[in-house]
Amino acid sequence: MDSASPNTNPDFPPVKDRRTDALGDLRVIPDEILCIILTRLAPHDVGRLSCVSSVMYILCNEEPLWMSLCLCIANHEIEYKGSWKKTALDQLNLLHKYNEAPRRTLQFDGFSSLFLYRRLYRCHTLLNGFSFDDGNVERKENMSFEEFHMDYDCLKPVMISGLADNWPARKSWTSEELLLKYPETKFRISQRSSKKVSMKFKDYVSYTQVQHDEDPLYIFSDEFGEVAPDLLKEYSVPHIFKEDYFDVLDIDQRPSYRWLIIGPERSGASWHVDPGLTSAWNTLLCGRKRWALYPPGRVPLGVTMHVNENDGDVDIEGPSSLQWWLDFYPLLADADKPIECTQLPGETIYVPSGWWHCVLNLETTIAVTQNFVNSKNFEFVCLDMAPGYRHKGVCRAGLLALDDSSFVDDENNSMCTENGSSHFNLDRREKRLRIEEGCSENGTNGKSMTDGCGGDLEYSYNISFLSKFLDHERDHYNSLWSSGNCIGQREMRDWLWKLWVQNPGLRDLIWKGACLALNAGIWYERVGAICNFLEFPGPSLEEKLPVGTGSNPVYLIDDYVIKIFVEGGLEASLYCLGTELEFYNIVHKLDSSLKTYIPSVLASGILLSENGSYRVLPWDGKGIPELIGSSGISTIKHKEVDYPFGLVAKKNFEYLNAGKPLNESENCAKPSSVWPYIVTRRCKGKIFAELRDTLSSEDELNLASFLGKQLHDLHLLPVPRPSCNISVPVIGEDYIQPLHCSGLSENVTDKIGHPADLELFISILNRKRKDVGKRLSQWGHPIPSNLIEKVDDYIPRDLNILFDQLEHKTECRSYTWIHSDIMDDNIYMMPYSDSMLEENLSEPCVEEGGAHIKRTNSSNIHKLSWVPSYILDFSNLSAGEPILDLIPVYLDIFRGDPRLLKQFLNSYKLPFVRQKTLSEGVESNRFSRLSYRAMCYCILHDDNVLGAIFSIWKELRSATSWEEVEEKVWGDLNTYI
């Protein structure tokens, strides 16, 4: 296949096989594998390798190779330079050194490659006669909502004409018109790379006019409404698709759902199922598209699925749409061919939930598409977000995903696809679905499987059938979240709660979805058991859904709140509750003013599941519950401390898990039958997250002042210290040596952290410092890749250097209580009333309910509409540098508003650290800058704080250094003393 056929004609001497001499030992590797290997190399190495031999010269100068290399190194924006090799050199700033002098074409006899020939053929294929005019997708002229809902919604695809007849886009969305209006506008492009790359529209049009790519770049922009908002005025959602349950989310909260799609001939979307099992509509404005579709559970020929058994992430590998139609479509028997059609300008196609589809542009096309969730697919979307992996495979691959014989490890063939799209990773335990021969589709709604395909079972794409494959051992709150899910874990909980509150008529349906996605029915039983034990009224029908976005199920019932601790597993939950109870005890023991602004505790304890029933044990955080001490899950060497699961133990637990990947840490999800819980008094008013967009400037400033005062008081509380010779309880193998002899000071003015405590904190930071670049790479967009590459030069190898700058390690406020999670859903506010105002406001005004009013002139006071009253959720309490509490406040509450930061600091009135050298705004080195300190903590944070930074300050995505980001975000701290 790879060399010329032997020549037996005596008039012509035989041609020697060039491949053998040119490749040496590499000659045994097929060309497609060699080409895949080359895509893994850096451009410089490919350039050097091209000089090794004639065959390597051929392989290393292929346009598809350089297209892949260029997209891998692209820094967010590209400009096509006439060839992909030149474009890649331009990305590396080396184009000026590239001199391609005119010379005769090099000829190499004795070498041929069917693989390279086929790829070259696809790059120059013309699709003029490639339409499928006799398609078998139903076509309808306009359509009523009732007809769509009854006959097509979530059942089968349909092509509808007439829905876009009145759109301005029908006339204005052409390449020529868009080029006139948006030549400099950058649109995101789709390509086989994890990077987010964009092009100016004028550059993209130039590219499409000269390119000869097999799989050309394809504008697939989900941000077109932000970069070109006038485009949103030129089309509207067709009336039959108006129902969309994601509408309850703000635009910056909902998952990507609308796309502008522009592509030249040969471009398209390869076989896929739409994200989250959503449905979609796609309206074509110009050009022609060829569509192929298969029902749910029918994996197309040539497509391979990977399902990660840890988080359920689904990877789909397959050929480009053009390659599939050229190489795989001809192999199909008539009975196995997909449903097909050619879409014409003005037509709208509906793709139901779970349907496989592939699209090929027959000429330059412009289209708009949106994904949506409605009453017909809502349960499917919720099912797809449930933890586990088996149901995800079944939803897409049918019964092929059922038994272990259908999953085979395939390391040896992990790179055997022509396009090099395999993502096999030894760090991920993947299972590959094998498509068995002889498995055929019978109808569009079910699949009958023979013995060769897993037994006589009937596959059906309905919730009753698919939900049988859920892994009920996996808890939503305590399982890894699939990166392929269309929405985040917290966002999903927020979405369900908003639907629940805003759509009372849909609560039966929402409850079904919540039971699928987060096992709401089981948590409803558990909170009911706690209510029964405490003789509290149980949750009403309206109160049966957990509230908010928090990491633990929380229920608002009557005048109280019940939180069940599950995040991180039993051990982490015990530390969270134990630390929170210890904190409440200190606040009341010292009569801190904080007690006015935190909810009062009504009860706490442990819920235990035994033989299908529940038992409740009271626990106030003191001592070790008999259940824990006698179960063998904990090793306690000493029981003399009041709070064995309090702050000291929690910090040691943090040390053990610092820097570990989530699935390798002690927090990794494990089935549990024991859950700590706490009951607090329900706060009056509303959470800040619900009020944010309605607050006045005075309200915001008053809130900033409130938060400054409360964190001032929090950071003055004495930090608990271990008593002499006490080893903290750790459920696991590792132990930290006993710290220092001390005890909790009775004097509220004793605010100095113990040196050993500070050393433990620094050790935790150093653990997080390891592999920081790898963690940022996993988070990816919108963190700039060029900054990720520089992070090791920015963060010191040993974080001790930050604390060497302190005036006296033993006499600094660098180790205090920190809330660590003051965000917009943890602040309560009350409506302002004149009765809250006192004549002499030398201190914040405190009324029943804890309302806070900053001292100000009377005219501004009367402009207030809402005043802060409570800070909630102390389960993430920890100890560390006080500046850590500023990160969520500034990024989430203030959203980077420097005016609010200044107001906060004016109210806070405490130095963050006492440094050896501190002059007015001038620092001796970067380690002494408060802005540098804050930036380091953002980079080392357990949560993706950087994602928030580059979302708030989008201009920083083009930053060239971390110092630039530091100055923009935290520079104002350097003038604070």
Q: What is the DSSP string of 300-335?
A: PTT-EEEEETTT--EEEE---HHHIIIIIGGGS-GG
CA 295 to chain centre: 28
Q: Are the C-beta atoms of 103 and 125 separated by less than 8 Å?
A: no
Across residues 106-127, what is the average pLDDT?
Answer: 88
Mean pLDDT, residues 644-663 taken together = 79
DSSP 891: I
Question: Which DSSP category does 480 fall into?
Answer: P
Q: What number is the average pLDDT over the span 222-239? A: 95
What pLDDT shows up at residue 630? 62
HEC string for 209-273: HHCCCCCCCEEEECCHHHHCHHHHHHCCCCHHHCCCHHHHCCCCCCCCCEEEEEECCCCEEEEEE
For 948-957, letters b (16+ CB in 10 Å) and e give bbbbbeeebb
| Greater model confidence, 788 or 9 | 788
- Identify the burial level of 595 via C-beta atoms within 10 angstroms of its C-beta, where 0-12 means exposed, 13-18 middle and 19 or more buried: middle
Q: How far apart are CA 74 and CA 195, in angstroms?
A: 8
Alpha helices in 503-569 (DSSP H): 507-518, 520-534
Residue 806 binned pLDDT confidence (cut-offs 50, 70, 90): low
pLDDT over 70 at 918, yes or no? no
Cα angle, residue 683 at apex, residues 682 and 689 outer, rounded to 5°: 120
Structure confidence by residue, pLDDT tens digits, 121-174? 999 999 988 887 777 899 999 899 999 999 999 999 999 999 999 999 999 999
How does residue 774 score in pLDDT terms, banded at 50, 70 and 90? confident
Average pLDDT over residues 414-434: 35
The residue that leads in pLDDT, 448 or 850, is: 850
pLDDT above 80: residue 411? no
Asked if residue 944 has pLDDT above 50, the reply is: yes
Average model confidence (pLDDT) across the chain? 83
Residue 868: per-residue pLDDT: 93
pLDDT band at 834 (very low <50, low <70, confident <90, very high): low
For 505-527, what is the mean pLDDT?
95
- End-to-end alpha carbon distance in the chain: 74
Inter-residue contact 954 to 968 (CB < 8 Å): no
What mean pLDDT do residues 341-368 have?
96
DSSP labels, 625-650: -HHHHSSSS---S---SS-TTSHHHH
Is the pLDDT score of 838 beyond 70? Answer: no
pLDDT for the residue 196: 77
What is the distance of C-alpha 841 from the center of its chain? 46
CA pair distance 643, 13, nearest whole angstrom: 91
**Distance (Å) of CA 270 to CA 303, 307, 327, 343:** 10, 18, 13, 16
Residue 775 has pLDDT above 60, yes or no: yes
Q: Which residues lie below 8 Å from residue 246, measured CB to CB, with a gap of 6+?
A: 254, 255, 257, 372, 373, 495
Read off the pLDDT of each residue in 165-194 and give the average, rounded to a whole number: 90
Residue owning tokens 């592939």 = 358
Res 93: pLDDT: 86
Alpha carbons within 13 A on the beta-carbon side of 70: 28
Which residues have CB under 8 Å from 640's CB, separation 6+?
A: 723, 726
Nearest alpha-carbon partner for 306 in 413, 419, 437? 413
Give the pLDDT band of residue 665 (cuts 50, 70, 90): very low
Which is more confidently placed, 64 or 9?
64
Identify the pLDDT of residue 194.
Answer: 62
Task: Report residue 14's pLDDT band, with 50, 70 and 90 as the boundaries.
Answer: low
Task: Quote the Cα angle for 564-565-567, to 5°.
Answer: 135
Residue 469 structure tokens:
């494959």
Round to whole Å and give the CA distance between 43 and 724.
60
* Per-residue pLDDT at 155: 95
Q: pLDDT at residue 721 above 80?
A: no
The confidence band for 75, taking pLDDT boundaries of 50, 70 and 90, is: confident
Tokens read off for 150:
């009854």
User: Between 14 and 620, where is the model more confident?
Assistant: 620
From 229-243, 562-576, 588-602, 862-876, the region with the lowest mean pLDDT: 862-876
- Preceding amide of 782 cis, omega within 30: yes
Query: Is 50 exceeded by the pLDDT of residue 844?
Result: no
Confirm whether pTM is higher than 0.85: no
- Enumerate residues 6+ apart whose C-beta is below 8 A from 515: 521
pLDDT the model gives residue 812: 47
Banded model confidence at residue 440, pLDDT cuts 50, 70, 90: very low
| 119-154 per-residue burial string, b: 16 or more CB within 10 A, e: under 16 | bbebbeeebeebbbeebebeebeebeeeebbeebbb
What local confidence, expressed as pLDDT, does residue 921 receive?
A: 42
Which is more confident, 757 or 575?
575
| 431 against 228, higher pLDDT | 228
What 8-state DSSP symbol labels residue 890? I
Nearest residue to 821 via CA among 892, 902, 880: 892
Phi, psi of 750 (to 5 degrees): -85, 95
Q: How far is Cα 597 from Cα 846, in angstroms, rounded to an integer?
A: 9
From residue 719, alpha-carbon distances to 47, 651, 691 in Å are: 60, 12, 34
Using pLDDT thresholds of 50, 70 and 90, give the confidence band for residue 441.
very low
Mean pLDDT of 2-25: 67
**pLDDT-derived band at 625, boundaries 50, 70, 90:** confident
Residue for token pair 């009367």 = 862
Q: Hunting for tokens 């000269």 — which residue is that?
A: 210
Given a contact cutoff of 8 angstroms between Cβ atoms, the answer to whether 842 and 781 are in contact is no
* Residue of 15 and 438 predicted with greater confidence: 15
- 8-state DSSP, 200: E
Which range has the top average pLDDT, 389-403, 657-671, 701-715, 740-754? 701-715
Is residue 281 over pLDDT 80?
Answer: yes
Out of 636-650, 774-788, 928-942, 943-957, pick the least confident.
Answer: 636-650
Structure tokens at 736: 């930290």
pLDDT tier at 252, thresholds 50, 70, 90: confident
DSSP string, 551-588: SS-EEEETTEEEEE--TT-HHHHHHHHHHHHHHHHHHH
